[in-house]
Copies of this chain bind each other. A is one copy, B any other.
């Protein structure tokens, strides 16, 4: 498969976005976060999204260069308006403001509305953890994103409403949560379809409630996603409602039932300074001890060691920084076509087989 250095892909993504009228600073930021998704093993949220964003810009669903403005502010809180710009920009500004406020007041919460797809949610708690703080992040969806049924219901009513959390870790990589409050993220179903595979059990049901593992049922709108939890789906559903209340109501992005032209990933970021609670040395000692203890959990013969949340991302990042980022042939094809249309030169893959 064609393989690229992170720099090659960052440059390609940034140039495509700039050719589509995104200001340089925003394009560089978005490209960096897209490539981070590839590096951390989340290719579904990586550079493959560039053609989609370019199309959304053409369709005027994303406004390139839209400012991010402050609607309300207190020393500990703020509400921002992304004015329908690239979601990466609005969510990054919200996270940066939350970090800055947290340094002053030990605790902060910032919401941002009117922004498109924020990409890999984990990127934002990762920024918070890199600043030495604890971050909790909640992202909702409306309109086209309504794909998940409430527990006990028989129609889609919720987005996949992901949540994330990041904690500084003396081992070097952050402890990082990043997951949909549905059983799986929608892109996993699309990926199964692309690969000609069935979905996992319990990912989707048909709209009459009968189980299916055929991804086409979902893509054709005949099936809907299940909340996280299986028989305990009331828990995933409850988490999804919580995300919608924080991001849809408090950040003011609009809840599941609000109309939206396209995605409108309301984002709510909480930052906590751990040193308001414990000394850094004790924090580091306690986190390191917990990591070591969980790593030492016995496993079944032949099974890999138990990992901490965030270790998947850390391991992929280390491996791909070394080996480069492989793109699936169809992804490379779409990306090349998009770049050519925009008059952007293509990088030379390491292996164009």
Contacts and interface: CB of A to CB of B under 8 A. Distances in A.
Nearest to A102: B76
Which of A77, A108, A235, A255 has most B Cβ within 10 Å?
A235
A246 B111 CA distance: 21
B249 A183 contact: no
Interface stretch (A21-29, A43-51, A225-233, A344-352): A225-233
A219 interface: no
Contact of A297 (B105, B149, B231): B149
Contact of A154 (B109, B149, B151, B300): B300
Interface string A245-266: 1101111101111000000000
A321 interface: no
Contact of A256 (B237, B248, B293): B293
Given A105-B75, A308-B241, A309-B241, A157 B202 contact: no
A183 B232 contact: yes
Interface in A295-332: 297-300, 303-304, 306-309
Contacts of A232: 179, 183-184, 228
Contacts of A306: 150-153, 157
Contacts of A249: 274, 278, 283, 286-287, 290
A106 interface: yes
Contacts of A277: 72, 77, 79, 109, 111, 250-252
Given A154-B297, A232-B184, A76 B290 contact: no
A294 B152 CA distance: 11
Contact of A307 (B152, B201, B283, B286): B152
Contacts of A63: none
Interface in A191-237: 200-202, 209, 228-232, 234-235, 237
Contacts of A150: 294, 297, 306
Which one of A155, A179, A229, A303 has the highest number of Cβ atoms from chain B below 10 Å of its Cβ?
A229
A126 interface: no
Interface residues of A, number: 81
A75 to B, nearest CB: 7
Contact of A230 (B229, B245, B257, B303): B229
Interface string A267-281: 000101110111000
23 contacts: A76-B106, A77-B106, A79-B277, A107-B109, A109-B276, A134-B250, A152-B299, A152-B307, A154-B297, A154-B300, A157-B293, A167-B245, A175-B245, A179-B235, A179-B238, A183-B232, A209-B300, A228-B229, A238-B309, A250-B272, A255-B293, A256-B290, A257-B289
Nearest first, the 6 closest Cβ-Cβ pairs linking A and B are A153-B297, A238-B309, A230-B230, A77-B276, A76-B107, A250-B277
Interface of A: 72, 74-77, 79, 105-109, 111, 134, 149-155, 157, 165, 167, 175, 177, 179, 183-184, 200-202, 209, 228-232, 234-235, 237-239, 241-242, 244-246, 248-252, 254-257, 270, 272-274, 276-278, 282-283, 286-287, 289-290, 293-294, 297-300, 303-304, 306-309
